[in-house]
Chain A
Amino acid sequence: MKRIVILMLAVAMLIFCGASVMAAPTRAETLVIGTTGDATTIDPHASNAMWSNNITINVFDPLVRKVFDKAGKFTLVPSLATKWEQKSDTIWILTLREGVKFHNGDPFTADDVVFSIKRYKDSTTGGAGFVQPIASALALDTYKVQIRTHAPYAILVLDMADIYISSKKHFEKVGEEGILKRPVGTGPYKFVEWIKEDHITLDVNEKYWGAKPKIKRAIMRPLKNDATRVAALLSGEVDLIYNVPVRDIDRVARGANTEVKAIPGPDVMHINIDVTRQRTPGYKNGKNPFLDPRVREAFAIAIDRDSIIRNVYGGHAYPTGQLPIPGAYGYVESIKPYPYNPEKARQLLKEAGYPNGFEFVWDVPQQRYFNDGPCSQAIAGFLAKVGIKAKLNMIPSNQYLSYINPGDKTTAFYGASGTGKGDIGYWYNRMFYTRDKKEGAGGSNRTHYSNPTVDKLLDEADSTADVKVRKAKLEEVTKILYQDYAIIPIYQYEEPYGLVKGLDFTPRVDAFIFDVHTMQKK
């Protein structure tokens, strides 16, 4: 017995010798955010993953910052770039902010901008997409950078809002591994620690060049399970959560200390159908029925969007007839959702020579998008009512894109589009430009859509340096896609946030949603 006691004491001593206790921060000065996933990296240039972006936006400054209003519309304000001028169709000159310092004391200069753009370009894990239109960046002097784009590119400023700057000197000192341990930016918050799957802690940068942040410490906790996330908010452990599940929205809204802020999000759920190929892989009895515009129209008007939104989403989604969201370049005010009219759909099918309808295979992911299963089943139910039998081909989420990307097995698929950047051009180029015609375009055109007019309009949109012209061309494409029924948009997601009462929080409709320095606790 005595020996056991001595042994236990020895173990306890050993443990406390190697121990250092972590001090808890004061709760009132801290904002705790419950997210739906952990970051995959803290390297701002390596990834476009949502929860990595949310460290990036706080630790680093972009060249231009997006400021969102309560309605979800944004304005662009100078950040590390104070001025941007277009010298020619493809050349832009940026003037940089003077006197800005990185968290480690290094001064911010043009070299850092050139270095950061180069690092984005070299990324093999998703960062390269941020700077795709940029051909080169060149430091003209300490505070002037010249950016050259591959082709005239009207919306470089929008891209600049997603380009975050890290320190070249710091990188040269610590290398690739050092950056992954401790990112150093100029942003309103300093990186403290990242304990994987547990939390990320950021502390305020007292020497921030901009308006002083009100929140002293921000902690982001990955709470993947919906019920856990809501429980953590209700019990006061976290102050703000992303994605309140539909069934809990009322509960959080009625909570004594909690409320819900919901805005239309950047994603539009839609069905792409093959309206181009004579023979289509998902239809077995001869010619592709969707070649007939009457069949496409019947398809589009057979779906009761309001009913789906009411029954599957508890009213928390918005019917739409186009992929761009309001405010994004390419959005056409006058386009409304296809009206629900099953009688007319049946009539159209009869006229098109399908009085008894037809059957086709529809590729649908499993739990890739929120509620994708129930929603696709509901859509198939509405289609069946007019005689179109959609055989659901359910594909596991992690194999979905590999399966549909080549397009050789796909007649129709269920997808989500994101216009978080504020411009639909990039998306249109990938999804609707004729395949294998132009480098970098049509790569994700899974239904092999091909329309020379659309190709031409997209070329024109991408070869003008004038935002107004680009907008007009993209809107034209939106109209054509609407008339072609090449996509059948269903609804725009709602993004519901749960927060403690008294928290001043404006949601952002893009891929960087938690800009902590704009928030304030009561």
Chain B
Amino acid sequence: MLFYVIKRFIQMIIVIAIVATIVFIFVNMLGDPAVLLLPPEASPEELAKARAAMGLDSSPWEQYKLFVVNVIHGDLGNSFVFREPAMKLIFERMPATLEIVVLAMFIAALIAIPLGVYVGAHPNTFASRSILSLSLLCISMPTFWFGIVLILVFSVQLGWLPSSGRGDVVIVWGMRLSFLTWDGIKHLILPAITLAVQQLATQLRLTRAGMMEVLRQDYIKFAKAKGVSPHDVLYGHALKNALIPVITVYGLEFGGLVVFATITETIFAWPGMGKLLIDSINISDRPVIIAYLMLASMLFVVINFIVDILYTVVDPRIDLR
């Protein structure tokens, strides 16, 4: 196990190094940060001054060398725009994103897995067909459209839920958390539902596919023949084996939502991480883009690791080596 963890850790370092290098090359192709940051009528002298202040006056190779040295010392640089450490900016916004993503993934799993089991076990009923068609609708619905419709119905027309922002927050160890106040929870609902809908549909369909395959296998027939109750057959014997692909995708989607929930965050003016990435790309805030994508790749490696461990929990026959 320890050997496995060390192997994974080395893999992570390699992945992050490669990602950082590729991103570094690409951000150099984005627009000139000085031109984007200063007003359009700024003079060449002002631009040169700004470039020097941002460390952009040396050659790309020199910049890269300095970047690598700084990263080894744990310094990912200061944002050009905010003049604060890039990592600090990202971590400041992480709790907000985690809140909606965790809630969304929770809602999705809570609804998708039982429904998926039902649909997989009874593929030909009217209810199953309706659920399947509905899930197709959920997958194909664009997030931004669905989010705006939710706002129009529940905020503007009915006035039940707020349209945007985080509401009252409680500060816990420097993190601003919405889910501990009633007002905050009301603000959480719409963005979480918007994020959940597509996840829900994907997971439902995966669970269904897994169930349908597992249910055809001999040991299920055997269990039935042995007289195990239908409920125990479905949830005790079949579901466990159908879950492996669901967990894999669940993990990846979780990571994807944490770092790229941009659209939902923008619609609900939710001050999360995804918005930071897009804003930074728009204004070529290189340190933030690089730090962000390094963090994203780290997150994915970690999530994959957790998923691997979960495999062994769900199916003890799987061995980590």
Contacts and interface: CB of A to CB of B under 8 A. Distances in A.
A224 B31 contact: no
B269 A228 contact: yes
Contact of A399 (B30, B44, B268): B30
B316 interface: no
Interface string B36-49: 11111111111001
Interface residues of B, number: 61
B181 A21 contact: yes
Interface stretch (B64-72, B202-210, B279-287): B279-287
Interface stretch (B158-166, B236-244, B302-310): B158-166
A227 interface: yes
Nearest to A197: B271
Interface string A224-249: 11011001101101000000000000
B267 interface: yes
Contact of B168 (A24, A180, A396, A402): A24
Nearest to A416: B40
B173 A125 contact: no
Interface size class of A (residues with CB under 8 A): 35 or more
Given A40-B81, A41-B83, A195-B176, A129 B93 contact: no
B163 A235 contact: yes
Q: Is the interface of A mostly helix, strand, loop or mixed?
A: mixed
Contacts, number: 153
Contact of A221 (B84, B92, B269, B282): B269
B289 to A, nearest CB: 12
B163 A128 contact: no
Which of B45, B84, B163 has the most A CB atoms < 10 Å from its CB? B163
Contact of A125 (B30, B37, B93): B37
B52 interface: yes
B99 interface: no
A141 interface: no
B82 A125 contact: no
A232 B268 CA distance: 10
Contacts of A298: none
Interface string A200-233: 0000000000000000000001111101100110
Contacts of A415: 40
Contacts of A231: 148, 151-152, 155-156, 163-164
B283 A398 contact: yes
B157 to A, nearest CB: 9
B44 A443 contact: yes
Interface in B42-88: 42-46, 49-50, 52-54, 81-84
A492 to B, nearest CB: 17
Contacts of A128: 46, 49
B195 to A, nearest CB: 15
A343 interface: no
23 contacts: A15-B172, A18-B173, A21-B168, A40-B82, A125-B53, A129-B38, A129-B39, A129-B43, A196-B92, A197-B269, A197-B272, A223-B269, A224-B275, A225-B266, A237-B155, A237-B164, A237-B165, A396-B31, A398-B284, A401-B35, A426-B41, A427-B41, A440-B43
Interface of B: 30-32, 35-46, 49-50, 52-54, 81-84, 89, 92-93, 96, 148, 151-152, 155-156, 159, 162-166, 168-173, 176, 180-181, 183, 266-269, 271-272, 275-276, 281-284
Interface of A: 15, 18-22, 24, 40-41, 46, 48, 124-126, 128-129, 132, 180, 195-199, 221-225, 227-228, 231-232, 234-235, 237, 396-402, 405, 415, 426-427, 430-431, 440, 443-444
Given A48-B38, A129-B39, A231-B164, 4 more contacts: A126-B42, A227-B148, A235-B159, A398-B31
